[in-house]
């Protein structure tokens, strides 16, 4: 039978997604047995206690329950600007939140996204080239689906990378072409590495078609500089690659030296011929930033220099799924046009969002400092995004013990950490890392007041683990 395991599509079996892999499954088991688990494996802020922003929830609540708008007491429960916004969004739909929208999303919301991009970058943006999606994931999958024709089509992906990319490329039967980020350069991207990766892939008969950048990085947390983005775009121009710019963490910046700058802005700044020719698709989401509305599943992508006939084809494919979530589209509309100074809800909105971002900034530092105080652990500062990705230098005794247990060394370490402390992380092998080098990923999302205790418990476990397995034969290499 087609759904017997042996008969399954091999690409489905090959595909791996570490964020919900072995560690997550074991953590869920332990939780069922009554152990307290700190889930730092997924960048899911509300699951770790982050409160939703008030204004967007008020607006969407009214859109979900439009009969409240007819209630004479509505003004006692909801501020006037939330009521006005709810009416505005309902007027953009054809039948409220229970009706499908256009498969590209509501035209009115796509216009708001285009206006946001124009304000952000200082260049025009066309709503016709913006598609709303169920989270950024669906957008990435739609575009990769259009790019990958078979196993000889290669996609350049950073290593370490977020496994959405490796998993989708496997699922679609394409080839992942890795380029390594340099840990000793704060996970910087060296264009010479890119050239080598492309040359090597070509020598194996792979035609490299697209390049992924994650800026700010997941799991690595680095922010790309403008100069680096320019080099990347020039490289894509020379090599005729579509650039997929994953910019879902653009609001999550924790340092001032390298603010977020979009690939679209850098491309437009470069002028002709680059700005007219380099093909770029940029992704964004409501799951990250200070919104963290992961469960709503809202996202968009913007296409630059993609021919109209191709846009039509992508529209056709999007149409097969009928419509992105309509309530999530409204979240996206609100994210790109939040309350403005002078609006009734502005002060509260600004206070809430600033509170979340400032706390994330402090948590990023507590985590990095905590990791760097541990024996045999080194960690680059989280410049942006939501993760910390420390390198764990495992002593030979630990490598041996892992081998005996039939586990990859970093999986072995993370399982021991989970059993000892309840901290659920993702082993670095799930994101890709250089041979013989080990990491783990945690989010920086646990509540700030719990952070010192979590880091103390990590340090106690780690330092004991290192002492237990240490011997005189050296370490896994840097």
Question: Rule CB under 6 A: which of 223-252 touch ligand DCS?
Answer: 246, 248
Please, are residues 478 and 437 in contact by the beta-carbon 8 Å criterion? yes
| 294 lies in the binding site for ligand DCS (CB under 6 A) | yes
Q: How far apart are CA 375 and CA 164, in angstroms?
A: 32
Stretch that binds ligand DCS, among 37-45, 178-186, 327-335, 388-396 (CB under 6 A): 37-45
Of the candidates 389, 386, 382, the one whose C-alpha atom is nearest the C-alpha of residue 159 is 389
Q: How far apart are CA 335 and CA 340, in angstroms?
A: 12
Q: How far is the CB of 118 from ligand DCS (least distance, A)?
A: 22
| 42 lies in the binding site for ligand DCS (CB under 6 A) | yes
Nearer to ligand DCS, 287 or 391 (CB): 287
Residue nearest to ligand DCS (CB): 135
Q: How far is the CB of 144 from ligand DCS (least distance, A)?
A: 12
Q: How far is the CB of 298 from ligand DCS (least distance, A)?
A: 7
Strand partners for 38? 423
Nearer to ligand DCS, 248 or 414 (CB): 248
Q: Which structure tokens are listed for 115? A: 């206006």
**Contacts with ligand DCS: how many residues (CB under 6 A)?**
17
Q: How far is the CB of 474 from ligand DCS (least distance, A)?
A: 33
Nearer to ligand DCS, 206 or 303 (CB): 303
Please, are residues 356 and 50 in contact by the beta-carbon 8 Å criterion? yes
| 19 lies in the binding site for ligand DCS (CB under 6 A) | yes
| 43 lies in the binding site for ligand DCS (CB under 6 A) | yes
Q: How far apart are CA 207 and CA 301, in angstroms?
A: 25
Looking at 164, 194, 253, 411, which residue binds ligand DCS (CB under 6 A)?
164
Nearer to ligand DCS, 79 or 174 (CB): 174
Which CB contacts under 8 angstroms, 24+ apart, belong to 189-198?
Answer: 189/158, 189/213, 189/224, 189/228, 189/232, 191/231, 191/232, 191/235, 194/156, 194/232, 194/235, 195/235, 197/156, 198/156, 198/239
Residue 187 region, left (φ>0) first, then alpha (ψ -120 to 50), else beta? left
Q: How far apart are CA 422 and CA 402, in angstroms?
A: 20
Q: How far is the CB of 472 from ligand DCS (least distance, A)?
A: 38
| 431 lies in the binding site for ligand DCS (CB under 6 A) | no
| 44 lies in the binding site for ligand DCS (CB under 6 A) | yes
Q: How far is the CB of 137 from ligand DCS (least distance, A)?
A: 3
| 162 lies in the binding site for ligand DCS (CB under 6 A) | yes
Q: How far apart are CA 182 and CA 53, in angstroms?
A: 37
Q: How far apart are CA 182 and CA 475, in angstroms?
A: 20
| 136 lies in the binding site for ligand DCS (CB under 6 A) | yes
Nearer to ligand DCS, 130 or 398 (CB): 130
Looking at 135, 158, 178, 446, which residue binds ligand DCS (CB under 6 A)?
135
| 69 lies in the binding site for ligand DCS (CB under 6 A) | no
Q: How far is the CB of 281 from ligand DCS (least distance, A)?
A: 13
Stretch that binds ligand DCS, among 26-34, 54-62, 83-91, 129-137 (CB under 6 A): 129-137
Nearer to ligand DCS, 135 or 174 (CB): 135
| 131 lies in the binding site for ligand DCS (CB under 6 A) | no
| 56 lies in the binding site for ligand DCS (CB under 6 A) | no
Q: How far apart are CA 218 and CA 227, in angstroms?
A: 20
Stretch that binds ligand DCS, among 40-48, 229-237, 256-264, 389-397 (CB under 6 A): 40-48
Question: How far is residue 254 from each of residues 44, 251, 369, 455, measured CA to CA in Å?
Answer: 18, 9, 14, 19
Looking at 155, 176, 214, 336, which residue binds ligand DCS (CB under 6 A)?
214
* Triad 146, 148, 153: Cα angle to 5°: 150
Backbone angles phi, psi at 323, to 5 degrees: -160, 140
Q: How far apart are CA 15 and CA 2, in angstroms?
A: 18
Assign 222 to helix, strand or coil: coil
Please, are residues 189 and 181 in contact by the beta-carbon 8 Å criterion? yes
User: Where do contacts with ligand DCS occur on this chain (CB under 6 A)?
Assistant: 19, 42-44, 135-137, 162, 164, 214, 218, 246, 248, 285, 287, 294, 299
């Amino acid at each position: 039978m087609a759904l017997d395991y042996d008969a399954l599509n091999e690409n489905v079996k090959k595909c791996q997604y570490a964020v919900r892999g072995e560690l997550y499954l074991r953590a869920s088991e332990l939780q069922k047995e009554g152990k307290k688990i700190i889930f730092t494996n997924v960048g899911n802020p509300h699951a770790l206690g982050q409160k939703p922003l008030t204004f967007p929830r008020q607006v969407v609540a009214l859109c979900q329950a439009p009969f409240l708008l007819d209630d004479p007491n509505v003004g006692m429960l909801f501020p006037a600007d939330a009521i006005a916004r709810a009416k505005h969004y309902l007027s953009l739909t054809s039948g409220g939140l229970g009706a499908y929208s256009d498969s590209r999303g509501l035209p009115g919301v796509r216009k708001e996204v285009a206006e946001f991009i124009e304000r952000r970058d200082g260049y025009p943006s066309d709503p016709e080239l913006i598609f709303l999606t169920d989270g950024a994931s669906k957008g990435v999958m739609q575009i990769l689906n259009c790019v990958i024709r078979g196993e000889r089509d290669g996609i350049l992906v950073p290593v370490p990378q977020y496994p959405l990319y490796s998993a989708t490329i496997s699922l679609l039967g394409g080839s992942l072409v890795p380029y390594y980020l340099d840990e000793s350069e704060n996970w910087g991207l060296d264009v010479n590495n890119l050239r080598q990766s492309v040359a090597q892939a070509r020598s194996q008969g792979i035609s490299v078609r697209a390049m992924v950048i994650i800026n700010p990085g997941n799991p690595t947390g680095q922010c790309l500089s403008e100069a680096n983005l320019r080099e990347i775009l020039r490289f894509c121009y020379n090599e005729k690659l579509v650039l997929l710019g994953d910019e879902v963490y653009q609001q999550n910046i924790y340092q001032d030296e390298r603010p977020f700058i979009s690939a679209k802005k850098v491309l437009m700044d470069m002028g002709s011929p680059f700005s007219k020719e380099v093909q770029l698709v940029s992704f964004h989401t409501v799951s990250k930033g200070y919104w963290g509305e992961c469960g709503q599943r809202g996202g968009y992508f913007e296409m630059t220099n993609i021919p109209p006939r191709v846009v039509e084809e992508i529209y056709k494919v999007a149409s097969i799924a009928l419509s992105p979530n309509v309530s999530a589209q409204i979240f996206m509309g609100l994210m790109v046009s939040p309350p403005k100074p002078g609006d009734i809800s502005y002060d509260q909105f600004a206070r809430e969002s600033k509170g979340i971002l400032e706390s994330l900034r402090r948590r990023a530092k507590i985590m990095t400092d905590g990791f760097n105080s541990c024996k045999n652990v080194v960690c680059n500062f989280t410049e942006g995004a939501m993760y910390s990705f420390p390198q764990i230098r495992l002593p030979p005794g630990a490598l041996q013990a892992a081998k005996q247990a039939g586990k990859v060394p970093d999986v072995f370490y993370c399982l021991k950490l989970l059993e000892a402390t309840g901290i659920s992380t993702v082993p670095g092998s799930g994101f890709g890392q250089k041979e013989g080098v080990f990491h783990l990923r945690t989010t920086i999302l646990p509540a700030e007041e719990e952070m010192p205790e979590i880091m103390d418990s990590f340090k106690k476990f780690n330092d004991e683990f290192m002492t237990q397995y240490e011997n005189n034969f050296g370490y896994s290499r840097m």
